[in-house]
Structure 1
Amino acid sequence: MLDLAPVLLSAGDAAVTLLPGAGGRLGSLCLGGTELLRTSQDVADPNGDVFGYGSFPMAPWAGRLERGRFNNGPVRHQLPLDLVPHAAHGTALRGRWRVATAPAATDEGVSAALVHELAEPWPYPGRVTQLFELTPEQLRITISVEALRDSFPAQAGWHPWFRKRLRADGPQAALDFAPAWQEERGADYLPTGRRIDPAPGPWDDCFAFPDGVEATLTWGDELALRITSDCPWAVVFDHQADALCVEPQSGPPNGLNTAPHLVTPIEPLEVTTTWSWRRG
C-alpha cells in the first residue's frame, strides 16, 4: 500500500514538503517561515488544478506535446489532451508516488527519494525517481527516467510556481537571466523552430542555455534565489498576477517530436536542478 502522507525535510531554517499523493511535487519551500511557492491553499481546487501550485516534476515529457502525438520509431502514439489542443507536462504529475528512501541525515543536511512507476496512458513500462537533497543553503533535485523494457523517447524537468511577492506589501520578484536565444513561439504555443533574440516579457516562452540553465530571482533586498541546472532549456511563464515559473527541462516543448532523447534499459535520462538562496 502506498504511503501518501506528506514528507517533511528540514535543514537549519529551510523546510520543504514533498507530496507523494499529489504527483510527487514539492508542495512547499519555506525559508525562515517565508513561503516561496504558490501552495495548494492558494488555488481554488488543487485536485482540479494539478498544474497550478508547488513545483511538480515533468516526465516522461516536459511542456506541451503537439496534439498529444509522438512517434517511437515507426510506432505512432496518441495521448490524452489535457491542455487542449495539446498534452502537457507528462503523466507523472497525475500519478501516485511512493517513498523510496525515507528522510535521512547527510553530512550537510537531509535527503529523501520518491518513485513513480509509469503506466497508462504512457505506453511504455518505466520508472521515474526523484532525489531531494536539502541543506540550509540550497535544495538539489535529481530526476531519473528509466525504461524497464522497451526504449522510448523521453524528457524531464521541473515546473515551479514561485510567488511574485513573498508578502502582501513586499517587493515583486525580478528575473535575471541571459539565454543564448529564444525559441520563436507559434500561434499554437509551440516552438516554430526559428531562433530569435531574447525578447522582453511577458513570457510563455522557451529559452536555450547550451551550457546549462542559470537564472536568478530577486525579491528586492529580501531574498535572491539562484536556479541552476544541467538542462539546456528553460520555459519562463509569468502571465499570472501572483506567481511566475522558471522551468528547467531537458528538451524544448514538443521535444519528443523535434529533439527526442532515447531512454533505454541501460541508459536512463538523468537531470538535476539546484536552488540556492541568499537572504538580505
Structure 2
Amino acid sequence: MQTRLSAGDAELTINPENGCRIESLRIGGTEVLRQGERYGSFPMVPWCGRTALGRFRDGATEHRLPVNAAPHAIHGTVRNLAWKTVRSSATEAVLTCELGDPWPYKGLVTQVFELAEDALTLRFGVETYADSFPAQAGWHPWFLRNLGHGGQDVRVDFAPAWQEERGEDHIPTGRRIDPLPGPWDDCFGMPGGVDVTLTWPGELELKVTSRSEWVVIYDEQAEAVCVEPQSGPPNGLNTHPRLVTPIDPLEVESVWSWRRP
C-alpha cells in the first residue's frame, strides 16, 4: 500500500513494496519526477553506483555481489526489496528494511521522509546487528527534464571542486580532474557538501543539498536528469570504505528545497 504525505500544496507518494521508492513528488499540482516503475527516486544502499566486477574486499575476505549492470554490480540491494512502515503521519514517514543475502552481512536500513511546504528532508540510517561492514547510502532521483507545461528544459547549476575521472568501464580511475562539460554520467566532489540547483525557468527552482561530499550527475537521457547525493563515490566499497560498526551507524541526509517565481 502506498504512503502519501502532504504539506501545503506539496504531495509525496512512497511505495514501500517497490523498494521504498518515491513514486511521485507534486508541487502545486506539477509532477517533478519521471514516472514509471523504475523511476521516481530510489534508495541506493548498501552501495551507490557501480561496484567494479561485483567484488569488494572487507579485510582479507573478498565478497561477490550479483552482477546486474554487466560487468558490475549497481545501486545496492534495497531498491529491490519490500520495506516495512514503522510509523507515518500527514507529513512524516519512517520505513525500515533488513539487510541480508545477497549482501553478506545482516543489518537494518531506516529511511525517514519529512515533508514541509517548501522542502523534503530525507535521512538514512544503516546499522549492523553484529559484524562491522563497509557501506554507502544515497538517493537516485529522476527529475523531469521538462515539466510538461510548455516551458524550458531544466538547467543544472553546481560548482564542484573536482570530477572523479571515469574509465571506459565507468569506474572511477582514482584520479581527480577539473570538471568537464556535460553530458554526464559522472561523480563530482563537493567537500563543503552537495549543493546543486535545478531550475525550470519561470516555473520552479529546486535545490538538492547534503552534508555528504559526493554527487553523481546523470543527464544522458532525454526524459530526465538525475542528481544523486551519496556518502561515497562509485566503487567506494573498494576505494573509500566507510565501516558501519555496532557503535557507529552510517547516517546520511539530503534536503530538496524549492521555490516558485
Structure 2 unaligned residues grouped into runs of 5+: none
In structure 2, what is the equivalent of residue 90 of structure 1? 76
- 8 A Cα contact 2:34 2:142, kept in partner: yes
Q: Which position in structure 1 is the counterpart of 2:209?
A: 228
Q: Shift of the alpha carbon at 1:221?
A: 1.4
Equivalence for 2:255 = 274
2:41 equivalent among 52, 55, 73? 55
Contact 2:139 2:228 in 1 (8 A): yes
Give the aligned partner of residue 34 of structure 2: 38
For the Cα contact (< 8 Å) 2:51–2:72, is it kept in 1?
yes
Give the equivalent residue in structure 1 for 2:103.
Answer: 122
Residue equivalent to 1:256: 237
1:149 maps to which residue? 130
Residue in 1 aligned with 2:24?
A: 28
| Residue 131 of structure 1, CA deviation | 0.5
Does the Cα contact within 8 Å between 2:212 and 2:230 map onto a contact in 1? yes
Find the partner of 1:103 among 72, 77, 89. 89
For 2:94 and 2:23, how far apart are their aligned partners in 1? 15
Runs of 4 or more, structure 1, over 2 Å off, are none
Q: CA RMSD in A?
A: 0.8
Q: Is residue 2:141 matched to residue 1:160?
A: yes
- In 2, the alpha carbon distance for the partners of 1:129 and 1:74 equals 29
Matched, 1:14 2:10: yes
1:160-180 Cα offsets, whole Å, 9 max, x none, are 000000015221000000000
- CA displacement, residues 245-276 of structure 1 (integer Å, 9 cap, x when unaligned): 00000000000000000001111000100000
Structure 2 partner of 1:43: none
> Partners in 1 of 2:70 and 2:164 — Cα distance?
21
In 1: Cα distance, 2:24 partner to 2:57 partner = 36
Identity %: 58
**Secondary structure of the corresponding residue to residue 212 of structure 2:** coil
Which of 200, 208, 227 matches 1:219?
A: 200
Match of 1:243 in 2: 224
**2:180 aligned to 188, 199, 206, which one?**
199
Alignment of 1:72 onto 2:68: no
Determine the C-alpha separation between the residues in 2 that align with 1:18 and 1:266.
30
TM-score w.r.t. the length of structure 1 is 0.92
Which AA in structure 2 matches 1:117? E
- Give 2:167's match in structure 1, choosing from 148, 168, 186: 186
Distance (Å, rounded) in 1 between the aligned partners of 2:150 and 2:88? 38
Superposed CA deviations along residues 44-75 of structure 1, whole A, max 9, x for unmatched, are: xx3xxxxx401011000100000110111111
Q: TM-score when scaled to structure 2?
A: 0.98
| 2:67 is the alignment partner of 1:81 | yes
SS state of the match for residue 67, structure 1? Answer: helix
- Please give the alpha-carbon distance, in whole angstroms, between the structure 2 residues aligned to 1:265 and 1:27: 33
- Hey, what's the Cα distance between the residues in 2 that align with 1:168 and 1:66? 41
Q: Distance in 2 between matches of 1:28 and 1:192?
A: 35
Any unmatched runs of 5+ in structure 1? 41-45, 47-51, 105-109
